[in-house]
Structure 1
Amino acid sequence: MTAPLSAFPLTLAARILGRRGAGAWLVGAALAGVLAGCSSGARKPEPMPLQPVAAIVPARQVWTQAIGPVDALLVPAVRDGAVALANAAGAVTVLEADGGRVRWRAEAGAPMAAGVGFDGRRVALVTRDNELTVLSERGVLWRQRLAARPFTPPLVAGERVFVLGGDRSVVAFDAQSGARLWSQSSRGTEPLVLQQPGVLGAVGNTLVVGIGGRLVGLDPDTGRMRWDAVVGRSRGANEIERLVDLVGRVGRDGDVLCVRAFQAAIGCVDATQGRTLWTRAADGVTGVQADAERVYAVESNGRVLALRRADGTPDWTHERLLHRGLTAPLALGRSLAIGDAQGYVHLLSRADGSVVNRLATDGSPIVEGPLLVGNTLVAVTRNGGVFAWRPE
């Protein structure tokens, strides 16, 4: 008998467009050329210079670690007071939030392509050989070859490992043995998929997956669809304009999940009923954060905005971080933590967006977004630096 899914926390990468295929994946080189042609002649905007900031919300650096350069598709995973990471070479490290002590290390044996998932005991990632690899402190437990390359980290929960493939299929494996339990294929979706981490998580005993512009609830035991809520709709004259994949991270307030559809919309869904509460057009490429009052997001140009959680109407905006390559936001006490491509973590007030502190790392881009592990703020950089602060 399989264990029920726990309320597992739902979690920029190379955004090259890929085309769905039967088995192997080909990079859409022609499409990349189209995109480059659209931007040729347009000079990339300079990052907005940083202004001096007073540390209204103090944060003391408590530890650092180095794990080696990481892949752009790394999404660190947090569970039981620890953070699980994998570097680009496939070395897995699990760090304690309290003090940064290494809980355990293991080698996947091949470079990482997507990851990681973590349930407190096991770490799952996908290698560039397209193998789902599950490890523990004893080393590799099992491997399974995948039919389609994932860009989203596996989810390890309820004694199962779930994988969202690049063909928008969902596959479940037994976490202990690696036996394949079920698979669910997606039909009728657009032929292009975003090479960026998407949505794969759980609410209670429902597996929640982003399929195109829809948020779908599945039975984790069988893969049967329980509900289907639309957040972003395909529009436009070509495949690129119609791309609306949902992107991680997901904002959660109880059973309400708020998500972004790539360069199309932000919306909130009641995950108990599978009902879309509201959607709003929005131009952005990173995930969102939510609380009982607001949904926080970063737009493509670096504008930070807060929308009212009840209906999506604007509350405040912040435009002092334009063109700095911002990550998805993280709600942290009364603050909002956002990383940038220059290696800074910016703390903004959740009430009005004002800057309340700025934290420096090693100068390389912050990966995916800051994390909260217990009462410790953690940021991981592309150079493999892991930095931890304790806000006061």
Structure 2
Amino acid sequence: MSSPLIKTIRTIALFLVFTSSLSACAGFFEKDNTPEPTPLTSYAPEVTPRLLWSANVGAGAAGNDYLKLSPAVSETAVYTTSTSGTVTALSKTSGKRLWQVNTRLPVTTGAGAGDGLVVMGSRGGDIVALQESDGRQRWKASVPGEVIATPAVGSGIVVVKAVDGYTRALSASDGHELWSFQQVEPNMILRGSSAPLIRDRSLIVGFANGNLAKLNLDGQLLWLQTVAIPEGAFAIQRMIDIDADPVVYQHRIYVATYQGKISSLDWTSGRTLWTHDISSYTGMAADDAAVYISDAKGTVWGFGADSGFVNWRQTKLEYRVISGPAAMGNYVVVGDAQGYLHWLGKQDGHFAGRVSLGSSIYAAPIVENNVLYALTNSGYLAAYTLR
């Protein structure tokens, strides 16, 4: 297999990874037909986001790279990574820097935190685990090919996904490989991938072929569900990657694919509870009443949790290359490529608040204890509450 070739699809501001040589297609995507971002409209502010603290932690995405380098949050700290290899820990309450380490690696994932570790992966397949308390390196391991998703850390294992289609479980104590699970990946995939998720002694993993797997922590497959089936004559039309991180809420798993569907699956059996056509690569958020998702065009949707019916759609952010949503009280929050955070009402998607962070926001914000943490591509990390 030749080394991955990356081509820009400007219409959706994404990167493709070709897992075999496709040099004959060299000029296929060169024309830029990108629609202009929808201009922001006036609205009646309902909430006022209040900045608690901010810090500069190192660029989260370089050049045209579409990398969602999401921060991780522990009980006391926020952890960030940068493409230059810098890993930073900051106090959740004050934003004060606790430690900073330069791994000198071309980091391609956000930080995964758990079991006292902060873990990230690189373009060359290196996995580095740092001590959560002081940034000291605990171990370093390697896998074949670029690491394409934020590692999952917990229950004594570190789970990583690489461009070769393998999901590998490494020992949290020393990084040695415990087991691996493979799905056959298409020749053309989106840059990046959904993060594996450890929950209730099980592992949820989405793949670029549109399949979602549930495994136990020993690597035994519990079930495999096909979320979307590829359609079309050309490889680009047949892309159905699961790039949006799956969400587990109560007894349901929400999963979405690019050019495919959003589905609600039963946690125990993987049975499909409901499904709706959609194309998404960013992310989702859920609560008791609904699941919220940003689609590839920039529309934010609210679906009924039980029925799957469309509660609302907010179309006034189209072509702004928005992040996945985060749930914050009575609102959902998305970032955009123009550097804005938008608060939308959960009931109908109306605009309720807005702030500018000054640089593109690809990674979905994180909300914990009513505090929102947002990281821009330039490395500006901000913590907000509402008043």
The answer (yes or no) to whether the contact 1:59–1:391 under 8 Å persists in 2 is: yes
In the alignment, residue 217 of structure 1 is paired with which amino acid? K
For structure 2, the 5+ residue unaligned runs are 1-11
Name the SS for the 2:239 alignment partner.
Answer: coil
Report whether the alignment pairs 1:127 with 2:126.
no
**One-letter amino acid of the counterpart of residue 113, structure 1:** T
Indicate the residue corresponding to 1:196 in structure 2. Answer: 192
Q: Which residue in 1 is equivalent to 2:72?
A: 77
Alpha-carbon contact 1:107-1:139 (below 8 Å) kept: no
Aligned to 1:65: 55
Deviations 1:240-267 (A, max 9, x none): 2222111123333213121210121111
Counterpart pick for 2:175 among 159, 175, 178: 178
Question: How much identity, in percent, do the aligned residues show?
Answer: 30
Question: What is the TM-score with the length of structure 1 in the denominator?
Answer: 0.88
Q: Distance in 2 between matches of 1:307 and 1:30?
A: 41
For the residue of structure 2 that corresponds to 1:208, the secondary structure is strand
For 1:45, the equivalent position in structure 2 comes to 35
The equivalent residue for 2:29 is 35
Shift of 1:166: 1.2
Work out whether residues 153 and 198 of structure 2, in 8 Å CA contact, stay in contact via their aligned partners in 1. no
* CA 286–87 in structure 1, closer or farther in 2 if over 3 Å, else same: same
SS at match of 1:296: strand
1:320 and 2:316 equivalent? Answer: yes
TM-score (norm 2): 0.89
Relative to 1, partners in 2 of residues 1:31 and 1:159: Cα closer, same or farther, differing over 3 Å?
Answer: farther
Q: 1:146 aligns with which of 120, 143, 147?
A: 143
Are residue 339 (structure 1) and residue 335 (structure 2) matched?
yes
- Distance verdict in 2 for CA 1:31–1:293, change over 3 Å: farther
Q: Which runs of 4+ in 1 moved over 4 A?
A: 28-32
1:251 and 1:295 in contact (8 A); partners too: no
Give SS of 1:356's match.
Answer: strand
- Name the structure 1 match of 2:202: 206
- Per the alignment, residue 234 of structure 2 pairs with 238
Decide whether aligned partners of structure 1 residues 333 and 141 sit closer, same or farther in structure 2, where only a CA change above 3 A counts: same
**Deviations, residues 57-91 of structure 1 (Å, cap 9, x unaligned):** 22211100001211242122223243210112111
CA pair 391-102 structure 1, distance change in 2 beyond 3 A: same
Give the CA deviation at 1:215: 1.2
One-letter amino acid of the structure 2 residue matched with residue 15 of structure 1 = L
Letter in 2 for 1:319: T
Q: Does 1:255 align with 2:251?
A: yes
Q: How has the CA–CA distance of structure 1 residues 278 and 300 changed in structure 2, closer, same or farther, with 3 Å as cutoff? A: same
The aligned runs of 1:302-381 (5 Å cut-off) are 302-361=298-357, 363-381=358-376
SS in 2 for 1:241: helix
Name the CA distance, whole Å, in 1 between partners of 2:386 and 2:15.
Answer: 36
Q: Which residue of structure 2 lines up, in the alignment, with residue 156 of structure 1?
A: 153
Higher relative contact order (CA 8 A, sep 6+): 1
Q: CA deviation at 1:32?
A: 6.2
Corresponding pairs, count: 368
* Counterpart AA for 1:132: I
| Matches for 1:273-292 after TM superposition, within 5 Å | 273-292=269-288
**Structure 1 position 152, deviation (Å):** 0.6
**What is the SS of the residue equivalent to 1:388?**
strand
- In the alignment, residue 157 of structure 1 is paired with which amino acid? G
Residues 106 and 135 of structure 1 are in contact (CA less than 8 Å); yes or no, is this contact kept in structure 2? no
* Counterpart amino acid of residue 378 in structure 1: Y
Give the 3-state SS of the residue equivalent to 1:162 in structure 2.
strand
SS, match of residue 246 in structure 2? strand
1:156-194 per-position Cα deviation (integer Å, ceiling 9, x unaligned): 11121111121221111111111211112224x433322
- 2:82 is matched with which residue: 58, 63, 87? 87
CA distance in 1, matches of 2:308, 2:356: 32
Quick one: distance in 2 between partners of 1:69 and 1:267? 34
Shift of residue 314, structure 1, vs aligned partner: 1.2
**CA 1:77–1:29 in structure 2 vs 1: closer, same or farther (change >3 Å)?**
farther
Supply the RMSD in Å over aligned alpha carbons. Answer: 2.0
- Give 1:201 deviation, angstroms: 0.4
> Structure 2: which amino acid aligns with 1:16?
F
1:246 alignment partner, SS class:
coil
Cα distance, 1:14 vs. partner? 6.7
- 1:18-77 alpha-carbon deviations (Å, 9 max, x no partner): 2336xxxx6x5555632345xx5x4x3222222233331222111000012112421222
Matching residue within 54, 63, 74 for 2:44: 54
Amino acid at match of 2:232: G
Distance 1:167 1:110 in 2: 20
- Shift in CA distance, 385/160, structure 1 to aligned 2, threshold 3 Å: same
CA distance in 1, matches of 2:39, 2:138: 48
Counterpart in the other structure of 2:3: none
Distance 2:160 2:13 in 1: 19
Change in 2 beyond 3 A, CA 1:14/1:105: farther
Q: Which runs of 5+ in 1 are unaligned?
A: 1-12
- What letter matches 1:34 in structure 2? F
